[in-house]
């Protein structure tokens, strides 16, 4: 039996009628579909038309790499244009993080090829973790030819490795002039947080000390870049263009290489410092600090062994003692005492009986000799402590402090070097502020001979006594000629390194002559008679600064680290000198021991000046030929022949 077939029946509602979609819902669905289509079309328009250039640039970036071209650092020359600090070509290895596929897997091979521990690479990566991905990370500086060959041979396996040509610092050997020149190094995280380094990036090389630090903005130049085309493996296959690097500015320093060499030789084997300067201008002719260090060790990657060696040295090789060693000046301070006593009209008529010392306020203060009757003219060359004990007691601490402060004590000189210290000049206000105690009259006695709380640096002492010998004119010490530095940069240097600067103090002609004549007598019949130089108007003052108390008859020089510090300040000529030299020999004993050190430098200076003057005189007196055929001239022209000075010694 066949079953009857029926047509498909529509769904029936509860009331038995077919349901229909409401016209309103249908219209809403149509509008929704139309809106989605409009959005899709607008998005395609933005991607394909509006942002086409932007995406094209991003696509180019996938195949174009910007490689930095580092600017060579400016060179340093002495005052006569002789090269002091140069650069040498070097190759460094950088990591390009944009090329990394699986860096952790590559680390063992990279470490093996570059001969560095994996842990060191990981530490470097952590340090640069916050830096933008496009910035290359320095992995190893000054790589060897074998390491360069390794990178080239593994271009496909290690596309993240890139080499970069650089210019690295080449400093004089054996720490020559290291403290005044300074050194460069990779910028630290602490430096990056300072406003001075706001525009620097991790991995940048900056000046860390000395002239390198002070004039870093001029010396470092402006880096350039070059655009290269790379393939999918990061291999360079073409060039697009480049922005040339702007080399750093060369600088001419005020130091004289010949005088610096003489100073280095004179300080050989000693611990301490020396500074030689021209009191007329403040130009530093030589500066030495001992022991020294090798700045070449810092220019690449400082080894842990070398760092431990210098940081654990009790004599502090990194300290520039010419501007940072603040110690009692001993009897060299008697020149400041003489200046104060004469200007106060207290020393002219003083006559003191020296019987090997004197008692003040119930204490006996010793003198190293029994000088008999002493006046101011003999007190300086004989260096009679008893005379200056008496003068100090007569003047009082605040009067002494006034004249010493006028000469720049307890203030920075403003020399263009980082980390200069102020030293100390005690006074009643100073003691109240620092110790909340009153000043006792008996404390001034030891100040009179440069002991007690008085502390100075060699550069302060050279500037002060050079100023007295120049009739009261003091100049700001400096290592770079001002005309080498743009005006705004020079102003910034003066603001960064404030000091007492150029100034003139009151000094009557009679007092000036008395002091300088007495200092000249010191090198003839006084405490520095052993270094008298015939034919050279050489004046000076010795100073023996005891490390332990000088009171209660303790005149022993001591031994080892308790041995007295030996000071000497000398100049030539005695009035309006062309050179003043301050020497600190730590634990050197009697101040007379430092006098030969200064004498060597002054003798080298005077000898050179006379030789140059003689050469100039000969040149002026020798008639020049009208014309002399030029050697190797392509044009056949003739040039005048000019006599040349003799070679520097």
pLDDT in tens, 574-620: 999 999 999 999 999 999 999 999 999 999 999 999 999 887 766 66
State residue 78's pLDDT score. 96
State residue 241's pLDDT score. 74
Q: Which helix (H) or strand (E) holds 272?
A: strand 272-277
**CA distance readout (Å), 213 to 68, 164, 208, 236, 416:** 23, 24, 5, 37, 10
Residue predicted with more confidence, 134 or 77: 77
Q: Which residues contact 388 (CB under 8 A, 6 or more apart)?
A: 334, 337, 379, 448, 449
Residue 157: name the closest of 239, 111, 102, 114 by CA. 102
Of the listed ranges 243-247, 481-485, 503-507, 563-567, the one predicted with least confidence: 243-247
pLDDT winner (highest mean) among 110-119, 283-292, 483-492: 283-292
CATH 3.40.710.10 boundaries in the chain: 325-595
Measured on CA atoms in the order 173, 301, 76, 275, is the torsion positive or negative?
A: negative
Digit-coded pLDDT (tens) for 155-164: 888 888 888 8
State residue 636's pLDDT score. 33
Confidence band for 236, pLDDT divided at 50, 70 and 90 = low
Q: Are strands 372-374 and 473-474 parallel, antiparallel or unpaired?
A: unpaired
Residues β-bridged to residue 242: 226
Phi, psi (rounded to 5 degrees) for 84: -110, -45
d(CA 235, CA 215): 39
State residue 566's pLDDT score. 96
d(CA 257, CA 268): 16
Of the listed ranges 18-32, 218-232, 442-456, the one predicted with least confidence: 18-32
State residue 59's pLDDT score. 55
How large is the average pLDDT for residues 232-243? 68
Question: How is residue 625 annotated by DSSP?
Answer: P
d(CA 540, CA 420): 25
| Contact yes or no for 116/142 (Cβ under 8 A) | no
The percentage of the chain sitting over the pLDDT mark of 90, rounded to a whole number, equals 56
| Contact yes or no for 474/467 (Cβ under 8 A) | yes
Confidence band for 54, pLDDT divided at 50, 70 and 90 = low
Residue predicted with more confidence, 268 or 12: 268
| Contact yes or no for 175/262 (Cβ under 8 A) | no
d(CA 507, CA 530): 30
Task: Read off the tokens for 339.
Answer: 């200046």
Q: Which CATH architecture has domain 325-595?
A: 3-Layer(aba) Sandwich (3.40)
Residue 142 burial (10 A CB sphere; 0-12, 13-18, 19+): middle
Q: Is a pLDDT exceeding 70 seen at residue 73?
A: yes
Residue 582: name the closest of 395, 332, 358, 375 by CA. 332
State residue 304's pLDDT score. 81
Q: Which residues contact 507 (CB under 8 A, 6 or more apart)?
A: 339, 343, 468, 471, 472
How many other C-beta atoms can be found within 10 angstroms of the C-beta atom of residue 201?
14
State residue 505's pLDDT score. 96
State residue 621's pLDDT score. 64
State residue 18's pLDDT score. 53
Residue predicted with more confidence, 638 or 95: 95
Task: Read off the tokens for 365.
Answer: 């203060």
| Contact yes or no for 396/193 (Cβ under 8 A) | no
State residue 551's pLDDT score. 42
| Contact yes or no for 469/539 (Cβ under 8 A) | yes
How large is the average pLDDT for residues 67-75? 85
d(CA 533, CA 528): 11
Sheet holding 64-69, edge to edge: 64-69, 224-230, 236-243
Q: Is a pLDDT exceeding 50 seen at residue 102?
A: yes
pLDDT winner (highest mean) among 135-139, 349-353, 489-493, 497-501: 349-353
State residue 632's pLDDT score. 35
Fold for 64-252, please state it: Penicillin-binding protein 2a (Domain 2) (3.90.1310)
Residues β-bridged to residue 638: 629
pTM comes to: 0.80
pLDDT winner (highest mean) among 9-13, 303-307, 466-470: 466-470
Beta-strand ranges (E) seen in 471-600 are 473-474, 503-504, 539-545, 565-572, 579-585
Residue 167: name the closest of 249, 75, 87 by CA. 87
Confidence band for 138, pLDDT divided at 50, 70 and 90 = confident
Confidence band for 33, pLDDT divided at 50, 70 and 90 = confident
Mean pLDDT of the chain: 85
Provide DSSP, 76-99: EE-TTS-EEEEEEEEEEEEE-GGG
How large is the average pLDDT for residues 108-135? 83
State residue 69's pLDDT score. 78
State residue 645's pLDDT score. 33
Question: How is residue 453 annotated by DSSP?
Answer: T
Per-residue buried b or exposed e for 288-324, using 16+ beta carbons within 10 Å of the residue's own CB? bbbbbbbbbbbbbeeeeeeeeebeeeeeebbbbbbbb
Digit-coded pLDDT (tens) for 549-576: 444 334 456 666 788 999 999 999 999 9
Q: Is a pLDDT exceeding 90 seen at residue 50?
A: no
State residue 77's pLDDT score. 97
d(CA 556, CA 366): 11
| Contact yes or no for 501/493 (Cβ under 8 A) | no
CATH 3.90.1310.10 boundaries in the chain: 64-252
State residue 359's pLDDT score. 96
Which residue is it, tokens 């130091």? 255
Of the listed ranges 94-103, 226-235, 420-429, 537-546, the one predicted with least confidence: 226-235
Residue predicted with more confidence, 434 or 14: 434
Question: How is residue 208 annotated by DSSP?
Answer: -
State residue 477's pLDDT score. 97
Q: Which residues contact 393 (CB under 8 A, 6 or more apart)?
A: 360, 441, 444, 445, 448
How large is the average pLDDT for residues 463-487? 96
Beta-strand ranges (E) seen in 75-193 are 76-77, 83-95, 137-140, 161-170, 184-186
Q: Which residues contact 363 (CB under 8 A, 6 or more apart)?
A: 442, 445, 551, 552
Residues present in the chain in total:
649
How large is the average pLDDT for residues 306-320? 91
Of the listed ranges 41-45, 50-54, 133-137, 335-339, the one predicted with least confidence: 50-54
How many other C-beta atoms can be found within 10 angstroms of the C-beta atom of residue 583?
37
**CA distance readout (Å), 336 to 155, 404, 591:** 70, 6, 17
State residue 123's pLDDT score. 85
State residue 559's pLDDT score. 66
How large is the average pLDDT for residues 70-94? 92
**Angle (CA) 492 496 498, round 5°:** 110
Of the listed ranges 199-208, 234-243, 461-470, the one predicted with least confidence: 234-243
Provide DSSP, 23-55: HHHHHHHHHHHHHHHHHHHHHHHIIIIITHHHH
Four-point Cα dihedral 378, 384, 385, 390, nearest 10? -40
């Amino acid at each position: 039996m066949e079953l009857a077939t029926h047509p498909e029946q529509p769904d029936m509602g509860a009331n038995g009628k077919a349901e229909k979609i409401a016209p309103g819902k249908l219209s809403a669905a149509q509008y929704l579909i139309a809106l989605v289509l409009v959005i899709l079309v607008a998005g395609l328009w933005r991607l394909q038309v509006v942002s086409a250039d932007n995406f094209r640039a991003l696509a180019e970036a996938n195949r174009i790499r910007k490689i930095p071209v580092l600017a060579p650092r400016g060179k340093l020359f002495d005052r006569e244009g002789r090269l002091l600090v140069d650069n040498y070509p070097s190759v460094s290895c950088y990591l390009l993080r944009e090329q990394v596929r699986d860096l952790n897997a590559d680390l063992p091979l990279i470490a093996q090829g570059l001969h560095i521990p994996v842990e060191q690479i990981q530490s470097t990566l952590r340090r640069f973790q916050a830096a933008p991905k496009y910035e290359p990370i320095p992995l190893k500086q000054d790589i060897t030819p074998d390491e360069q060959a390794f990178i080239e041979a593994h271009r496909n396996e290690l596309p993240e490795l890139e080499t970069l040509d650089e210019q690295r610092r080449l400093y004089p050997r054996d720490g020559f002039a290291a403290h005044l020149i300074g050194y460069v190094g990779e910028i630290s995280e602490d430096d990056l947080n300072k406003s001075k380094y706001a525009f620097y990036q991790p991995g940048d090389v900056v000046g860390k000390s000395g002239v390198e630090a002070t004039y870093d903005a001029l010396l470092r130049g402006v880096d350039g870049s070059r655009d290269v085309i790379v393939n999918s493996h990061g291999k360079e296959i073409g060039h697009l263009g480049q922005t040339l690097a702007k080399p750093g500015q060369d600088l001419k320093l005020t130091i004289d290489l010949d005088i610096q060499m003489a100073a280095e030789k004179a300080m050989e084997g000693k611990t301490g410092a020396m500074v030689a300067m021209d009191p007329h201008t403040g130009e530093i002719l030589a500066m030495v600090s001992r022991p020294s260090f090798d700045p070449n060790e810092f220019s690449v990657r400082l080894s842990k062994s070398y760092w431990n060696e210098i940081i654990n040295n009790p004599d502090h090789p990194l300290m520039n003692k010419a501007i940072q060693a603040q110690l009692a000046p001993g009897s060299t301070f008697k020149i400041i005492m003489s200046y104060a006593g004469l200007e106060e009209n207290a020393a002219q008529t003083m006559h003191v009986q020296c019987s090997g010392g004197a008692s003040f306020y119930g204490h006996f203060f010793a003198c190293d000799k029994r000088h008999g009757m002493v006046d101011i003219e003999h007190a300086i060359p004989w260096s009679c402590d008893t005379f200056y004990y008496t003068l100090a007691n007569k003047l009082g601490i605040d009067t002494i402090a006034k004249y010493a402060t006028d000469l720049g004590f307890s203030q920075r000189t403003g020399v263009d070097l980082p980390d200069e210290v102020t030293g100390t000049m005690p006074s009643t206000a100073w003691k109240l502020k620092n110790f909340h105690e009153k000043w006792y009259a008996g404390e001034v006695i030891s100040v009179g001979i440069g002991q007690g709380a008085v502390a100075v640096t060699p550069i302060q002492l050279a500037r002060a006594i050079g100023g007295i010998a120049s009739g009261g004119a003091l100049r700001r010490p400096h290592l770079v000629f001002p005309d080498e530095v743009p005006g705004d940069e020079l102003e910034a240097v003066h603001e960064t390194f404030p000091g007492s600067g150029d100034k003139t103090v009151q000094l009557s002609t009679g007092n000036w002559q008395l002091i300088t004549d007495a200092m000249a007598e010191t090198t003839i019949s006084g405490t520095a008679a052993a270094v008298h130089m015939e034919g050279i108007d050489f004046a000076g003052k010795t100073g023996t600064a005891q490390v332990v108390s000088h009171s209660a008859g303790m005149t022993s020089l001591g031994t080892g680290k308790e041995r007295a510090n030996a000071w000497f300040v000398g100049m030539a000529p005695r009035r309006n000198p062309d050179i003043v030299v301050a020497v600190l020999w730590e634990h050197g004993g009697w101040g007379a021991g430092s006098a030969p050190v200064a004498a060597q430098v002054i003798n080298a200076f005077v000898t050179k000046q006379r030789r140059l003057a003689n050469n100039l005189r000969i040149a002026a007196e020798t008639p020049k030929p009208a014309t002399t055929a030029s050697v190797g001239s392509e044009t056949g022209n003739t040039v005048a022949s000019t006599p040349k000075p003799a070679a520097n010694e």
